[in-house]
Amino acid sequence: MITMNELIDLRMQQQIAHEILYRQQIMQRIPDPFAQFMPLHMIPLHVAMPPLPKLPGNVEVKLENNNLWQQFHKIGTEMIITKCGRRMFPSMRVSLKGLEDETQYCVLIEMVPLGDCRYKFSSSQWVPAGGAEPQSPQRMYLHPDSPATGLHWQAQPLLFNKVKLTNNTLDNNGHIVLASMHKYQPRIHIICTSDLTQIPWAPQQAFVFPETEFIAVTAYQVSYV
């Protein structure tokens, strides 16, 4: 049974981890590694993009609600963002496989900007409309169960249904900050560490599902979404 002091300490570690991730993104001056890979339409259903050091074993991630995402992807997925934060729909629901039962892991989701342009909705479709706006570095969400054992993560599908998206660049509620009329690709990171402050440097692996890309909007543009 976890004590109140242990719970407070864990929450403090999570806040520190969020701050480290935020500062790391601000200070980072190298191109996004996602850009080094093949175009999204050529990427298989899910593909690992391991930085060094890589996770041990053969870790797999499956998008459990793939059918729902595919339906939205066919018409062009849009995600509402608000000043107060809005939950994703569809949300990410994934299952993990290949983790070591007793090893501790952290799991987070990141929203990766796609392309270098903003979009507009014209003639019933999304088209490029000029250069992209500066992106906020606050585009990651650490799953609240982190850290947990591989046994825990693999026991049942993992939900990111509490992720909230906002366009408030001054947000301090842990929401993911996005720019309206820009395209994003969710990316799942699995990090092998029990210390939340070591997330940026621990062995890790990232997974992306091309059908989950979306355009951030303040109001739906596609009438049948």
Architecture of domain 54-217: Sandwich (2.60)
Instruction: Work out the percent of the chain whose per-residue pLDDT is above 90.
Output: 68
16: part of which helix (H) or strand (E)?
A: helix 4-27
Residue located via tokens 């408030």: 168
d(CA 128, CA 126): 7
Question: How sure is the predictor about 42, in pLDDT bands with cuts at 50, 70 and 90?
Answer: very low
Instruction: Work out the percent of the chain whose per-residue pLDDT is above 70.
Output: 76
Sheet holding 60-63, edge to edge: 60-63, 93-97, 158-159
Q: Where are the domains of the chain?
A: 1-31, 54-217
List Cβ neighbours of 98 (8 Å cut-off, separation of 6 or more): 57, 58, 59, 60
DSSP secondary structure of 58-92: --EEEETTHHHHHHHHHH--EEE-BSS-EE-SSPP
Tokens of 179: 């720019």
Question: How sure is the predictor about 37, in pLDDT bands with cuts at 50, 70 and 90?
Answer: very low
Residue 54 pLDDT > 70, yes or no?
Answer: yes
> What pLDDT does 96 receive?
98
Tokens of 37: 């890979």
**Residue 58 CB coordination number (10 Å):** 8
Query: Which candidate, 40, 27, 76, 19, places its Cα nearest to that of 215?
Result: 76
Residue 34 pLDDT > 60, yes or no?
Answer: no
The pair phi, psi for residue 166, each rounded to 5°, is -140, 160
> What pLDDT does 16 receive?
55
List Cβ neighbours of 117 (8 Å cut-off, separation of 6 or more): 128, 129, 130, 131, 132
> What pLDDT does 77 receive?
97
Query: Which candidate, 194, 142, 134, 206, places its Cα nearest to that of 167?
Result: 134
> What pLDDT does 138 receive?
85
Do 173 and 162 form a contact (C-beta atoms < 8 A)? Answer: no
Residue 33 pLDDT > 50, yes or no?
Answer: no
Residue 220 pLDDT > 90, yes or no?
Answer: yes
Residue 151: helix, strand or coil by DSSP?
Answer: helix
Do 139 and 103 form a contact (C-beta atoms < 8 A)? Answer: no
Selection from 13-22, 28-37, 40-49, 119-128 with the highest mean pLDDT: 119-128
Query: Which candidate, 212, 86, 77, places its Cα nearest to that of 161?
Result: 86
pLDDT tens profile 83-108: 999 999 999 999 999 999 999 999 99
pLDDT tens profile 133-184: 999 888 999 999 999 999 999 999 999 999 999 999 999 999 999 999 999 9
pTM of the entire predicted model: 0.78
Residue located via tokens 């993911």: 176
The pair phi, psi for residue 42, each rounded to 5°, is -100, -5
Tokens of 166: 């906002």
Residue 39 pLDDT > 50, yes or no?
Answer: no
